[in-house]
A = this chain, B = another copy of it.
Amino acid sequence: MSDQISDLIHEAVNLDDESDSELLHSKIAVQDEADIALLLESLPLEQRLSAWDAVPRHKQLDVLVEMRGDPRETLLDATPDEELDALFTDVDAETLLELSDSLESRLLDRAVAAMDKKQRHLFEGANQYSEDQIGHWRNPENLILPLTAKVSDAKRFLRREIPDYADCIYLVNRAGQYSEAVKLFKIYSTPEHTPLVDIAEDDITIIKAGEDCNRAALNVQRSGFTSLPLVDDNFKFLGRVDIGSACELLNESYERQLMAGAGMDEDEDLFSPVKKSAKNRALWLGINLLTAFLASWFIGLFEATLQQVVALAVLMPVVASMGGIAGSQTLTLIIRGLALKQVNPANLKALLIKELKVGGLNGVIWAIVIATVASYWFSSGMLGVVIGCAILVNICAAAVAGVGVPVLLDKLKLDPALSGSVILTTVTDIVGFVAFLGLGALLLL
């Protein structure tokens, strides 16, 4: 990622005559694929399409692979069918797997049909696994030898170009089942006639193709190896999972979590078309509107009280927001714990007790602070009592909901990062308003 890209964004946005455009295009053409992808994602639609024209044909597929889903689709949508067909005529399996979500089925079918037998086999093999399974993301560039091979065989084999992130040769039996891995550098320091099994690693982690891809990615990252062997349920060797993919999968999963907090996904385009973007976000606003109306409905139950003690209306946001903030802290900690597998049925009770203690302690402290401020502000000691109690109740409810909501969502196989905070704030809003206005009705009327 170079500073040059910032300059190119600036030039592309502020372009005003034809000759500048040619110069800019020639500068874009020489950037590497990831930089071009970043540039395209950073440009408004019109300038993006113009810059896309500058990308040399042989870089186009790799640039598309580097891009996120939505900005990539803006380019594919604007490209005429015949150009797309030409672009995808000799695509390989790995590239097509990365892009297939963005392609119309007509184009996808044509690209698969145009593949040679080997690539089609790889494509179909990977598609036997879902995108959440590591089998979908295998690296098919393998170094395999039979179990009976010797160091001399390995040396002969290694004269060809060695793929990225390869640090072992894998030994398979006659049935194609994975058996052992031999570190490449050991091969060079061992006498020629030694059987490879004699210098094999005995504690290498094996990845099953059906495994969750984040879990597998973490295993690769932790192993110290640059790749781990991938097998199916019968231990048939399928390929490798390399640390490059592992890193990408983890980055994507974090980005998904970050975007999910605002009801978006990681493919969201910085410059998506206005209508599409408005539509994407409308659902989230709609869900949130329902929960806001629900909270309003609860407030509506206390209309008579509010009319008599207008100070309650003035202080409502304080009660709701303290609950929301306290709850979101617990929620964030638990969501991370679930992702890291720190949170388990076994430690849930201890966790709930701890969060309740933290909530209780902070609840008491802030209840006193807020009660004092409110009493002075509205010259009413009883109002202070009411808001203090409501704050304490709401912060404790927030602790319970902060632990309970994400755990429950996780059990229901729903993503706590996506819906956790909406549900949590609905709970803290309603508990806060009802406790505050209910106590107000009891003690202030």
Mark A residues whose CB is within 8 Å of B.
Answer: 1, 5-6, 9-10, 12-14, 34, 38, 41-44, 155, 158-159, 162, 164-165, 167, 184-185, 188-189, 215, 218-219, 221-222, 224-226, 243-244, 246-248, 250-251, 254-255, 257-259, 261-264, 268, 270-271, 274-275, 277-278, 281-282, 284-286, 288-289, 291-293, 295-296, 299-300, 303, 306-307, 310-311, 313-318, 320-322, 325-326, 328-329, 331-333, 335-337, 340-347, 350-351, 354, 357-358, 361-362, 365-366, 369-370, 373, 429, 433
Contacts and interface: CB of A to CB of B under 8 A. Distances in A.
Contact of A361 (B215, B251, B278, B361): B278
Contact of A282 (B159, B162, B357, B362): B362
Contacts of A365: 278, 282
Nearest to A155: B188
A254 B110 CA distance: 39
Contacts of A282: 362, 365-366
23 contacts: A1-B341, A10-B344, A42-B341, A44-B350, A159-B189, A162-B185, A164-B225, A221-B251, A243-B244, A246-B247, A261-B261, A262-B331, A263-B329, A271-B347, A274-B354, A278-B358, A278-B362, A291-B321, A299-B314, A306-B310, A310-B313, A316-B316, A316-B317
B285 A218 contact: no
A1 B295 CA distance: 42
A7 to B, nearest CB: 9
A250 to B, nearest CB: 6
A286 B320 CA distance: 14
A341 B6 contact: yes
A325 to B, nearest CB: 5
Nearest to A216: B1
Given A1-B341, A288-B321, A289-B322, A271 B310 contact: no
Contacts of A5: 341
Given A278-B361, A292-B322, 14 more contacts: A10-B346, A42-B337, A42-B343, A243-B247, A257-B258, A259-B332, A261-B328, A262-B329, A270-B342, A271-B350, A274-B361, A281-B362, A284-B329, A313-B316
B288 A322 contact: yes
Contacts of A215: 1
User: At the interface, is chain A mostly helix, strand, loop or mixed?
Assistant: helix
B218 A244 contact: no
Contact of A313 (B299, B331, B350): B299
A372 B278 CA distance: 20
A42 B189 contact: no
Nearest to A187: B188
A262 B261 CA distance: 11
B284 A13 contact: no
A285 B246 contact: no
A288 to B, nearest CB: 5
Contacts of A184: 185
Given A1-B218, A13-B350, A344-B9, A336 B258 contact: yes
B270 A295 contact: no
A184 B320 CA distance: 61
A369 B226 contact: no
Given A1-B341, A41-B342, A332-B258, A351 B270 contact: yes
Contacts of A218: 1
Given A13-B347, A281-B326, A317 B342 contact: no
B318 A296 contact: yes
Given A281-B326, A307-B307, A362-B282, A292 B321 contact: yes
A282 to B, nearest CB: 6
A188 B286 CA distance: 63
A290 to B, nearest CB: 10
Nearest to A33: B222
Contacts of A306: 306, 310, 313-314
Contacts of A299: 313-314, 317
A303 B296 contact: no
